Structure 1
Amino acid sequence: PIADTVFGVTTMLIAIPTGVKIFNWIFTMWGGSIQFTTAMKFAIALVALFTIGGISGVMHASPPADLQQTDTYFIVAHFHYVLFGGSMMGIFGGIYYYYPKMTGRMLSEKLGSWHFWLMFIGMNLTFFPMHFSGLYGMPRRIYTYDAGQGWEGFNLASSIGTAVLFIGLLIFVYNFLIAGRRGAIAGNDPWRAGTLEWSIPSPPPEYNFATIPRVTSRLPLWDLKAPALNAEIPHSERGDTRVDVDVGSKHAGHSHAGFVGNLPKQATEAGMHIEEATGKSAKELGIPMPNLTIKPLICAAGMTIMFSGLLFIHKDKMSLAIATILTGALIMILSLYAWVLTPLEDHH
């Protein structure tokens, strides 16, 4: 009873920040002008699927429901809606959004839509039937079962959904690979975005910004390209202080002189700018850069070897385990020492 009470209370409590987060996403979209690009479709799907997973999780705050559903396929369905729907959809949305910045080319929106709908349908077809098979008593972590228990149809649907998911993933892989050679040129800002990364060339040069921009709002690129969109956004000299705010009867915030975000000329005066590709290296532009070194990778490999040695203990090979651990530790320590002694950048 005590454990059930603790789990029930904590399950109810976690619903509070989760609900706040969901409404935060919804109202962010409500306040914007939505364009149904592939990235946006994945973002919307994230909110919808994560909400379904959250609702199926909150019901476990009830001990009788939790007792019935624990260690059944209902739990598998629940956490896949949270983890797959709530993470993979976001990851794919991020890839479609930032691929142009990383490569300088656009992913195909047509193939992206096929990928999205196949993945969305496949995901729901795979995991939604698991709610029912779990409620019918199918336990987790089994791969075979006696016939006639009412689970066959649900598992068949899940198997078909897995195939649909796989097809969608193949389309994504094809799109990802082919766009690197044939995709449309992205330019600095294919999305008409408002943040700093879209003011520099795609892909970004090694130094990112040839001239450090002066940021006076949270959407500085709109100050320059679409000031009307940014007119109601607070602007300040530091960019992280609200303008004309009274806190505890004291005035806080020092606004940038004459800069309220509604005149393009003022954004230019504030130092915001769009950079074009120069083709010049950081050295040619006089920009100091960190020295390249492979030592962190060697250090990580040494750590991997060291902990891999623990595996031999379970095989009763203690000598081999100790030798592997010491070898990995030696590689890690030496490479870490060499890394620390490496100058961060050349003298300038």
Structure 2
Amino acid sequence: MSTWPDTRILDLLGIDVPIIQAPMAGATTPAMVIAANQAGALGSMPAAALSTEQLREALATIRQGSTRPINVNFFCHQPPLVDDERDRQWKHLLEPYYRELGADFDAPTPVSNRAPFDDAACQVVEAFRPEVVSFHFGLPEKALLDRVKATGAKVLSSATTVEEAVWLEQQGCDAIIAMGLEAGGHRGIFLSDDLNTQIGLMALVPQIVDAVSVPVIAAGGIGDARGIVAAFALGASAVQMGTAYLFTPEANVSASHHYALRHAQASETALTNLFTGRPARGIVNRVMRELGAINPLAPAFPRAGGALMPLKAKDEAGFSNLWSGQALRLGKDIGTFELTRELARQTLAKLK
């Protein structure tokens, strides 16, 4: 693959195709990362839902299967203070579902956790030395970020506004992921919690491109070669794609998620805070319809998910998160390697 109109990301990250396979916690597997790498893209392994040992095992598997650059992605949120009263109100709101489905309402509430980047995670980075380390919800504290940079890793992070992009560049990011409102999964928002600040990709990318000097990666609502061409036209140097890779056999998705991805309409996704406490885009299901996709009683991230776990065990389709971006109807049931190569070929053909 050659003759790309902008090679800054290719040169910066050492890849052949300006596509980043998005790190999707729970859904991304080492097999997906390896296949994306083999196709010339940047494979990304999410760490947020893994223990330190699980992350080490995943990275060892990837390193055995590929010698190409990899990206490891971390959340860098601040763990919330425990709010017992809010937790109680939240579970009380869910009580009718417990009674209906036969779940034990009086049993201790399971703990929902997402690990932020810390010293233990940084030690894994120092041991495996991934070529790229990316962050969601801003950046970690300077001492940890300096340690990451000392390994030689290039640092990326997501910006959902121009202000966030400028802040990330000022803190030393090597490239910015411009995350449009169309994107699936958790919003990368971190300078504000006001969802009214969130911008669609078409408006976001050129404004970030104009505001920063580092390369920009477009993410959100890109499902095929037409979207990649449009991203280049807007000034992006590469794209990050997630939902498209959820259709591949390498993706680890539940039966309910698999079905929803293939049958929901593009209009049937929404931002919701029900499943974790932070806004994320997913396919609308029963609990989102009946409680409202954004509910003020949902505990702070990541505690909201605990009380839903017993309900999810009884009715997965109705009470689990079905993350997806708005371009889901462009998804194809082909392998990660084939998808990546097809996207690259079709994009180059359209750019001629």
Q: Normalising by structure 1, report the TM-score.
A: 0.22
Which structure is larger by alpha-carbon Rg, 1 or 2? 1
Question: Greater share of strand residues, 1 or 2?
Answer: 2
Higher helix share: 1
Higher RCO (Cα < 8 Å, 6 or more apart): 2
Q: TM-score, normalised by structure 2?
A: 0.22
